[in-house]
Amino acid sequence: MIELKDLCFAYEDGTEALHSVTYSFEKGRCYCLQGPNGCGKSTLFRILTGLSFPTSGTYRFDGREITAALMKDRAAARAFHRRIGFLFQDPEMQLFTGSVEDEIAFGLRQLGMGEEECAARTERWLSALELERVRKKAPFNLSGGEKKRCALAAVLAMEPEVLILDEPMAGLDEKGQAWITDFMEKLRSPERLILFATHSSDLAGKAADTRIFMNREHTIAAPGQQA
């Protein structure tokens, strides 16, 4: 479903963040991306979600190359973003409405979904993410774990075919980490591709079908190499 070939990315000052990354991700599988800080994991996720674009090489999503030019086409960009969901490492970057229930419903309303269906889907994810008791609270007044769950509920309510999570354990206490580990095991589906980055060996071992290691050369390590 996702094909990367010789993908490279460098900042304007020439600093390299990704070097010749080649890999294919299949629908129905859950992949864990691991590696030292600064190896390029977050940059790769930004490219996969259309927030950044490679300096060279190609990124194909369901057979179609994703480029800056394509994303300037509003219809193409809208169709792409409906199929891919992204949970930022810091959930506050994607929380902005006045209540938890409005946060979950916001994207659905932007799609033009009818209020009855929107309400039903919002209720479903309030329940699934255990957010019913805080549904009227402003997201910025939530605990760290609740913010993470609120952002995740808003993403999942869109029912994306691809789910990308950047360090879902970040900022969580032991209880929150245990909750995320259990929930991510349940997220796996034949109809969904999941890709997440983590430093947690426990989460990687329990939730992922495949573990991928990036090294300090900003590329995917050869088998047997992890740094």
Question: What are the structural domains, with CATH classification, of the chain?
Answer: 2-93+161-213 (3.40.50.300)
Closest CA to 157 of 132, 180, 186, 129: 129
For the stretch 1-35, pLDDT in tens is: 999 999 999 998 989 999 999 999 999 999 999 99
pLDDT (0 to 100) of residue 156: 93
Report CA-CA distances (Å) from 117 to 99, 104, 154, 158, 199.
19, 13, 15, 12, 38
d(CA 174, CA 63): 40
Average pLDDT along the chain? 92
pLDDT interval class at 111 (50, 70, 90) = confident
pLDDT at 226: 55
Model confidence at 225, in pLDDT bands (50, 70, 90)?
Answer: low
pLDDT, tens only, 161-199: 999 999 998 888 888 899 889 988 888 889 999 999 999
pLDDT score recorded for residue 222: 64
Percentage of the chain beyond pLDDT 70 is 97
For 155, the 3-state DSSP assignment is helix
Q: Is residue 48 predicted with pLDDT exceeding 70?
A: yes
| pTM for the model | 0.90
Coil, strand or helix at 210: strand
- pLDDT at 220 > cutoff 80: yes
Three-state DSSP at 93 gives: helix
